[in-house]
Structure 1
Amino acid sequence: MKILVTGSKGFIGKNLIAELRNRGYKNILECHRDTDYTLLEEYCEKADFVFHLAGVNRPQNEEEFDEGNLGFTSTLINILEKYENDCPVIFTSSTQAMLDNAYGSSKRAAEDLIFTHAKYSNSKALIYRLPNVFGKWCKPNYNSAIATFCYNVARNLPIMVNNPSTNMNLVYIDDVIEELIHGLGDNQNISGSFCEVPTSHTTTLGEIVELIKSFKKSREERSIPNMNDALSKKLYSTYLSYLPEDQFSYDLKMNVDQRGSFTEFIKTVDRGQVSINVSKPGITKGNHWHHTKNEKFLVVSGHGVVRFRKIDSEEVIEYFVSGEKMEVVDVPTGYTHNIENLGETDMVTVMWANELFNPEKPDTYYLEV
């Protein structure tokens, strides 16, 4: 199958082509603003399917809306009809097509052209009136407030919010691409005369800004946003894609002494925290117990022993651990415990606790094993 993609270098086009290739599609005909007209003719003659994603949404003057949206759509349809190519066409329009502005009018006129072509050529036309689309590879300071916010916040640049209470209907780029590929397979989600992305998110502009700001702060606090919230998860992935290339990494606070080190790695809202413990040879750490706090130990380098004793018993239980055989040791409540490095090199242990450390209520009581 030969698939023609107009707007191939745009936000949606780049994401679509990447995923089409992931799924094994090889004959992708890429059309962008620099594509020669004769090559476009060749593509339209050969195409078995058209994704019409090209368009103008932030021109220097309003006349460019008609030229870039209606004009190019007319050119595309005329070439398809010239070669009597009645292949299916998917067109990404905008919810603004319902509004009386220059951009919306140009999109609505382009929709009408595609519907008319489908009627007279007895072909299939699938038109998606997309709301605000966000995700990786969108150009900041152009047509997406979210891309601009992510880019600016990551660089400590100011952002402008005129009305935080403005409602926004959003769709995530991966959900858009999934739906477009469903359309390629004739499994599109139809609502009336148009198609739509079934998964969308409604929030306010102010809430989006606060979330994005919290993502920057989370790196400083070693925390992770609530991944159980779909919008937060998608926005966080989007934010990370706009990090400056020299700021992918960030430092952690290492608590170092003669025994080794202890470093908090990740803190979560409802899944506790992960830390990295380094023990020098011969060093024993721990010798405490908890009422409710529980932990998991995973030695990833070196070897040692984890010892347990129920606080009202004299029996000591030992678990020998090594980075050569990955196994998780649960630390139950009510057992005093310690971990000793039995090797000649540093022992590195990944430690998970079910709750964040609270210095005012540490739930940690010293008691020798």
Structure 2
Amino acid sequence: MGSSIVLSGGSGFLGWHTRVLARALGLPAPHLLTRDDLARPARLAGLVDGADRVLHVAGVNRGTPTEVKDGNEGAATALAEAIQQCATPPKTVVFANSTQAGNGTPYGDSKAAAAERLADATRWCGSEFVDLRLPNLFGEHGRPHYNSVVATFCRLLADGGTPRVQDDKALDLVHVQDAARALLGVEGADLVPARRTVSDLAQTLGTYARTYRRTEIPALTDPFDLKLFNTYRSHCFPGHYPMPLQRHTDARGGLVEVVKAHGDGGQTFFSTTRPGVTRGEHYHLSKVERFVVVRGEAEIRLRRVLHDDVVTFRVTGDKPVVVDMPTMWVHHITNVGTDDLLTLFWTNEIFDPDRPDTYAEKVSP
């Protein structure tokens, strides 16, 4: 077949993040299985035949007990039958299972049954089977009231609301990009969850929202904090941008506070760009990057990875504003004026050439 990676559920939350990570790592673009493929085992067998890695992410976690049971067990049964029909079985089959598997609920029991059917099929044909039991996943572009309470709180705060805690329990949380790394078999993938209560999340995200409304960067003391902040930022984009900066003036001239970062200072640099020249054409998986045009006129354009729509901001040094690049959005800045453009950039981390977190791609593919 044409691709060595086959993915079900590729349009969902975890599926999209897995495709973005595969793209960033230079892996083959996964072949995406459709619902129609999963409903036709003979066709499905041809699609997974000889694959290096089959990632089964598709599942049902909302609906009636029957819908949840049939959705999870039916898809796994179809894939299991297809694997057994392959002339050359896939090398590895990875199932995005849940830590709730077998917990007595329709969802948990159907996930456990799905894992058992895939384990039997791969054992029969000799494929490696990875039963990846994932806790609560959160991350950029999660669906409120569906993917996680983190997404729900982020959306409420981005819209100016206040999260309400109804069931203050402890949650084991893993960022969705870490789950994607485990799915793809990336060496060093870390699935050790961070435990936070629902009230802790509400308080932390509320602090982030209040701080960020002032264009300030909250203290990001550990990798989990950065992932949580980037998740919140994804719900602010594009509606909150550009964010105006206050200019203080007196007889001597003017002053604009561009970056106020609580905690580590990160790295600040500036560039000059000649008329008509474009800088950027890349995206980041975790880095926070701020653009502020100090002099001249520019157009900042962004596109979410694996999507087509482009967001455009026209900015000028006469009225300085903040545009922070959301993670997993390709971006560039073009001098559209007649004079040299002066732009100030800030990132939350000092550039490391061995781990640049910068992946080349054009905004206009």
Equivalent position SS for 2:259: strand
- Paired with 2:264 and 2:80, the residues of 1 have a C-alpha distance of 54
Tell me the alpha carbon deviations over residues 336-355 of structure 1, each in whole angstroms, 9 at most, x when there is no partner.
xxxxxxxxxxxx998x9xxx
Q: In the alignment, is the contact (CA less than 8 A) between 1:154 and 1:244 conserved in 2? A: no
Aligned CA distance change for structure 1 residues 30 and 151 (closer, same or farther; 3 Å): same
Equivalent position SS for 1:248: coil
Equivalent position SS for 2:258: strand
By how many angstroms is 1:133 displaced?
0.6
- Paired with 1:37 and 1:107, the residues of 2 have a C-alpha distance of 18
TM-score (norm 2): 0.67
Q: In the alignment, is the contact (CA less than 8 A) between 2:97 and 2:132 conserved in 1? A: yes
Aligned CA distance change for structure 1 residues 146 and 223 (closer, same or farther; 3 Å): same
- Paired with 2:241 and 2:343, the residues of 1 have a C-alpha distance of 24
Matches within 5 A, 1:57-136: 57-59=61-63, 61-87=64-90, 88-136=92-140
Q: How many equivalent pairs are there?
A: 272
Matches within 5 A, 1:293-332: none
Alignment correspondent of 2:227: 234
Which amino acid is the alignment partner of residue 121 of structure 2?
H
RMSD: 3.0
TM-score (norm 1): 0.66
Gaps of 5+ in 2: 270-293, 296-341, 347-365
Instruction: Indicate the structure (1 or 2) with the bigger Cα radius of gyration.
Output: 1
Matches within 5 A, 1:1-369: 2-26=4-28, 28-33=30-35, 35=37, 37=39, 40-59=44-63, 61-87=64-90, 88-164=92-168, 166-182=169-185, 197-271=190-264
- Paired with 2:88 and 2:61, the residues of 1 have a C-alpha distance of 28
Equivalent position SS for 2:26: coil
Tell me the alpha carbon deviations over residues 235-291 of structure 1, each in whole angstroms, 9 at most, x when there is no partner.
000111111522122222221123211122222333469999xxxxxxxxxxxxxxx
Q: In the alignment, is the contact (CA less than 8 A) between 1:3 and 1:29 conserved in 2? A: yes
Alignment correspondent of 1:344: none
Tell me the alpha carbon deviations over residues 278-324 of structure 1, each in whole angstroms, 9 at most, x when there is no partner.
xxxxxxxxxxxxxxxxxxxxxx88xxxxxxxxxxxxxxxxxxxxxxx
Q: In the alignment, is the contact (CA less than 8 A) between 1:201 and 1:231 conserved in 2? A: yes
- Paired with 1:56 and 1:349, the residues of 2 have a C-alpha distance of 47
Aligned CA distance change for structure 1 residues 168 and 84 (closer, same or farther; 3 Å): same
By how many angstroms is 1:63 displaced?
0.6
Of residues 100-109 and 82-91 in structure 1, the stretch that sits farther from structure 2 once superposed is 82-91
Gaps of 5+ in 1: 190-196, 277-299, 302-347, 353-369
- Paired with 1:41 and 1:86, the residues of 2 have a C-alpha distance of 9
Equivalent position SS for 1:74: helix
Equivalent position SS for 1:127: strand
Structure 1 residue ranges, 4+ long, deviating more than 4 angstroms after superposition? 34-39, 271-276
Alignment correspondent of 1:365: none
Tell me the alpha carbon deviations over residues 149-183 of structure 1, each in whole angstroms, 9 at most, x when there is no partner.
1112101245332133x111100112112222226
- Paired with 1:78 and 1:188, the residues of 2 have a C-alpha distance of 32
By how many angstroms is 1:33 displaced?
3.1
Aligned CA distance change for structure 1 residues 136 and 275 (closer, same or farther; 3 Å): closer
- Paired with 2:56 and 2:197, the residues of 1 have a C-alpha distance of 30
Report percent identity of matched pairs.
28
- Paired with 2:141 and 2:35, the residues of 1 have a C-alpha distance of 18
By how many angstroms is 1:72 displaced?
0.7
